[in-house]
């Protein structure tokens, strides 16, 4: 495609679009609504006529080809068009081959081949769409797009309205079929994760302009501008949302003592639980600080009660705070354990450094949902039991039992 432009009246829908696509490529158009993705795609099969510029397929100018023949050479799947309910699965799959007047034997073979590709049983061919689950129907929809064996397939947000799990398995199916069959795909999406997963190259569009055309790796590593960066960030953040974990979900039981307990009781509890630090609460369970073996040893003959020797500063996190928002700050401070409190300041448990490190690795492998929040101001989800910051913290101490 070179210098392709489309205007509606004085509205520029697509402005100077340029792209050379190799056979077997998987191209995704991504961009906000109204950026010209659909218009560009529809110019390829002449459902929209370019105002200027040139589109060639295998060296042939599409404007010089018979439009009906052209469209038969190109598969086209529009948004959320399901199966036809009054037709069997087989007839649904063979919709386009029938239009192309394939002979019956070839069509029968093709139907079997396609249902296998959808990884569904052959007997489904004689059933009606309503007898299949939603996900199965969608798989038929995908293979139907490939049934006529066209070299070029256009898909306009085919999975736009599906739940994430169904979408994920259909993306796998499309990608697998595309690689096995060597077809060329042009695929419109507004979901960056979908684009990153499927594409050999991504075309980022905004207001009719091509903002960036590059491989998924390069788009991720070198977004051309803030628009592309936002598209990566925002979409990936949305994707990460369903898997959010709170501090409370990974916290463990804390070993604590009341502030009015005497030092002998504290020592005995440490010994019994095999820890060298205890969290200290008041009679209402509210976190007041911590006490360690050293503090007790120093003061054993001079002071009587825990509250007389304890350190009143303890770094803590809120139970309902999101791990990805707090993990960086916790890890940076180097604590082995951090107390967890509820909204009233009541001690509810402890998070261990080990469990946080696990979380970070999970986040990195699944796309890094903790990156976005690392620069934020310290929120009220994280705090200390006192305003002073000069005191020592229960760094590298055991305040919970070893497993």
Residues that bind Mg ion (CB under 5 A): 38
Instruction: Give the angle 166-44-170 at the CA atoms, nearest 5°.
Output: 10
Contact partner, 13, from Mg ion, ligand ADP, none, Cβ < 5-8 Å per class: ligand ADP
Q: What is the DSSP string of 110-162?
A: HHHHHHHHTT--GGGGGS-GGGS-HHHHHHHHHHHHHTT--SEEEEESTTTTS
Contact partner, 11, from Mg ion, ligand ADP, none, Cβ < 5-8 Å per class: ligand ADP
Residue 33 in contact with ligand ADP, rule: CB under 6 A: yes
List phi, psi (to 5°) of 354.
-60, -45
Count, residues near ligand ADP per rule CB under 6 A: 11
Residue 46 in contact with ligand ADP, rule: CB under 6 A: no
Given 1, 27, 28, 37, the residue binding ligand ADP (CB under 6 A)? 37
Given 26, 27, 39, 296, the residue binding ligand ADP (CB under 6 A)? 39
Residue 38 in contact with ligand ADP, rule: CB under 6 A: yes
DSSP, collapsed to helix, strand or coil, labels residue 321 as coil
Residue 49 in contact with ligand ADP, rule: CB under 6 A: no
Residue 363 in contact with ligand ADP, rule: CB under 6 A: no
Contact partner, 348, from ligand ADP, Mg ion, none, Cβ < 5-8 Å per class: none
The piece of 6-14, 70-78, 177-185, 248-256 that touches ligand ADP (CB under 6 A) is 6-14
Q: Which is nearer to Mg ion, 161 or 364 (CB)?
A: 161
The piece of 30-38, 67-75, 131-139, 358-366 that touches ligand ADP (CB under 6 A) is 30-38
| Tokens coding 349 | 């448990």
DSSP, collapsed to helix, strand or coil, labels residue 182 as coil
Pairing of strands 152-156, 347-352: unpaired
DSSP, collapsed to helix, strand or coil, labels residue 41 as helix
Instruction: Find tokens 């970070």 and name the residue.
Output: 360
Contact 337, 351 (CB under 8 A): yes
Q: Which is nearer to ligand ADP, 48 or 262 (CB)?
A: 48
- Please state the separation of Cα 225 from the chain's center in Å: 21
Residues that bind ligand ADP (CB under 6 A): 8, 11, 13, 31, 33-39
């Amino acid at each position: 495609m070179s210098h392709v432009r489309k205007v509606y009246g004085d509205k520029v829908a697509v402005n100077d679009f340029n792209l050379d696509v190799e056979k077997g490529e998987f191209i995704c158009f991504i961009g906000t609504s109204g950026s010209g993705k659909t218009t560009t795609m529809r110019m390829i099969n002449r459902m929209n006529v370019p105002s200027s510029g040139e589109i060639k397929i295998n060296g042939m100018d599409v404007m010089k080809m018979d439009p009906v023949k052209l469209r038969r050479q190109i598969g086209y799947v529009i948004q959320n068009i399901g199966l036809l309910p009054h037709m069997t699965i087989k007839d649904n799959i063979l919709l386009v081959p029938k239009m192309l007047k394939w002979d019956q034997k070839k069509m029968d073979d093709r139907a079997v081949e396609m249902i296998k590709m959808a990884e569904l049983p052959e007997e489904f061919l004689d059933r009606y769409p309503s007898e299949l689950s939603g996900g199965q129907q969608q798989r038929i929809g995908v293979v139907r797009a490939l049934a006529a064996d066209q070299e070029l397939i256009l898909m306009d947000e085919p999975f736009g309205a599906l739940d994430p799990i169904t979408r994920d398995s259909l993306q796998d199916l499309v990608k697998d079929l595309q690689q096995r069959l060597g077809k060329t795909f042009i695929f419109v999406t507004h979901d960056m994760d979908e684009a990153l997963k499927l594409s050999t190259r991504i075309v980022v569009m905004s207001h009719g302009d091509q903002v960036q055309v590059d491989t998924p790796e390069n788009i991720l590593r070198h977004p051309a501008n803030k628009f592309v960066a936002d598209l990566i960030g925002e979409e990936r953040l949305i994707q990460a949302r369903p898997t959010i974990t709170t501090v409370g979900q990974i916290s463990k039981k804390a070993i604590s003592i009341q502030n009015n307990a005497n030092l002998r009781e504290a020592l005995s509890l440490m010994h019994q639980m095999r820890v060298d630090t205890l969290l200290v609460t008041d009679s209402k369970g509210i976190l007041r600080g911590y006490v360690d073996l050293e503090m007790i040893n120093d003061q054993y003959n001079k002071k009587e009660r825990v509250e007389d020797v304890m350190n009143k500063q303890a770094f803590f996190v809120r139970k309902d705070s999101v791990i990805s928002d707090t993990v960086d700050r916790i890890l940076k401070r180097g604590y082995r354990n951090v107390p967890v409190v509820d909204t009233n300041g009541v001690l509810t448990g402890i998070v261990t450094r080990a469990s946080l490190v696990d979380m970070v690795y999970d986040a990195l492998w699944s796309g890094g949902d903790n990156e976005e929040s690392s620069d934020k101001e310290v929120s009220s989800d994280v705090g200390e039991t006192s305003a002073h910051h000069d005191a020592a913290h229960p760094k590298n101490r055991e305040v919970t039992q070893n497993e």
